[in-house]
Structure 1
């Protein structure tokens, strides 16, 4: 505990309020510290939209704060940060900081990084101010802030607004230095932001970084203004930071239980992931099956004899081609590869001794988890290999992703095609049959045939399930 510090609770983690060289500071500690003591330096608006900070605390990062309110990234602010950086290094914190700047926090984040590029692991900026003429001065489309302009002029020592407008120390002016240092940059912006307009701030910086061939990524939020900051699901931000700090492991291959709890999942009201998972195990007890289907909501839609599943559009088709009672669905809505991996590793699914096991998983990794096609493919491989271990006497049919997305050149369709390419090249051995089902659904122009999908172009209609059931019957024959 820092000398004279006061402890506080930050979303279940122990934090400390204290003063360092006359400045108010905070440090929040993880329950288990990651090797090397990595840390995130929160620039402004402590505690606002904390989801990224909480996630990184869970991964062993410290979250720190040094008050530079109303200093607008001026030399006074960067000097104060210099002193706090030395304090943290003295106490064993990692040499490179993760900088997190929201709104006007972009000023201090970029101005300090430009002075100390060798001390920065990466920059996550959220709706950041990149040019003081845009905000607070309001010389573009933003209304700006007269009071903030007055304070900013004072702390910078500008003699006139013209002098401020001609100043060349904005974050926009630092693109060359950030690029030369190779600092990875992520911006999250609301496309309808009228306070800190994207066109005057992030878009200008992004264009210059790309011209310089520097690493920059921008996540756009259509229809969103300056608030709310961050993302409801911070996974893309957290992933960026973990990759930039060399601490990222492919989540698609790491077995974890799911956390779904929602009435629209095709379950009985009040059900959640763990009760649905137990329902699967109970439905398999005392049976010997010809076919067991493993997967997500698409697989869950086959229905089978499970008691908690209420939406079973595929049951009639599978009963017709295989016979009622000789097959079962072990799909759970929302499951990704890591969740199915956990289930087949920890569940007693082989109690039903299935002759065939169908593995169909991965679409939620793309459309929910934001995982890349290659990461998802690794997860599918991990699930398939685990299925081979857990079902030693069964034949495994690896069913590749169904073509998703209405347009044949859509991003999700291209990702599916990439996964097919990776899996087709994989050597699984004689126990596994890999099948690319794309042509079951597409015409010669690559357009999905009418009536096979629901409106999201992911989930199947009864006619879509009939199509798959007929092809599975042929594969089993």
Structure 2
């Protein structure tokens, strides 16, 4: 389903324009956490360092749930030359602010991976575990995210060319508390957090994009 917001449709139109030009190797699919790679204060330098050389497009839209991403993917031009890879990070808004159960949210993530493979059968898809939220280990959001991520390996294992990777521990300290330096608002990575994220997936992207 689409979101009824002017900025959202304007951003979708902008992405349609970029996709129409073709020649994209990597799709970065997600919500505000991915969207923030365009934010000069937190992610843009990291994007320019790690993802511009990979010929990536940012398909992150702040506030999106899995159903919004599915609609967006349905309403993008299909590239004649298929991208080599896609990274998917989505689901946090389904549970933490939405009404989905962790299992429903995980099934939404599975549907997105399946949709990407339907459109581009030879493309590799890297599904990231939803990043941890909130400082404390016993916060309900943290528990919901752990539950969602626990469903994903099983749900994704039958999809050829789809890999699951949980880099969440990279944002935690030795006691499991969320790093204030990497996620100051307990949800969105800082510039340091974006750098840690980019570094954590760099080996997978190298494999994915060199094939």
Residue in 2 that maps onto 1:414? 143
Which structure's relative contact order is higher, taking Cα pairs within 8 Å and 6+ residues apart? 2
- CA distance 1:403–1:386, change in 2 (3 Å): same
1:273-288 equivalent positions in 2, closer than 5 A: 273-288=8-23
The one of 157, 165, 184 aligned to 1:454: 184
The one of 44, 51, 63 aligned to 1:334: 63
After superposition, give the CA deviation of every residue in 1:111-148 in whole Å (9 maximum; x if it has no partner).
xxxxxxxxxxxxxxxxxxxxxxxxxxxxxxxxxxxxxx
Distance (whole Å) between structure 2 residues aligned to residue 428 and residue 386 of structure 1: 14
Larger Rg: 1
Task: Quote how far apart the aligned CAs of 1:378 are.
Answer: 1.2
The one of 302, 310, 318 aligned to 2:37: 302
The one of 25, 43, 46 aligned to 1:290: 25
Residue in 2 that maps onto 1:400? 129
Higher percent of residues as helix: 2
1:70-109 equivalent positions in 2, closer than 5 A: none
Give the total of aligned pairs.
205
Relative to the length of structure 2, the TM-score reads 0.89
- CA distance 1:346–1:376, change in 2 (3 Å): same
Distance (whole Å) between structure 2 residues aligned to residue 333 and residue 279 of structure 1: 15
Higher percent of residues as strand: 1
Distance (whole Å) between structure 2 residues aligned to residue 418 and residue 408 of structure 1: 13
Aligned residue for 2:121, secondary structure, equals coil
CA contact (8 A) 1:286 1:352 kept: no
Unaligned ranges ≥5, structure 1: 1-255, 262-270, 304-309
Aligned residue for 2:114, secondary structure, equals helix
Relative to the length of structure 1, the TM-score reads 0.41
Residue in 2 that maps onto 1:212? none
Task: Quote how far apart the aligned CAs of 1:375 are.
Answer: 1.2
CA contact (8 A) 2:35 2:62 kept: yes
Unaligned ranges ≥5, structure 2: 207-211
Residue in 2 that maps onto 1:18? none
- CA distance 1:445–1:301, change in 2 (3 Å): same
Q: Are 1:258 and 2:3 matched, yes or no? A: yes
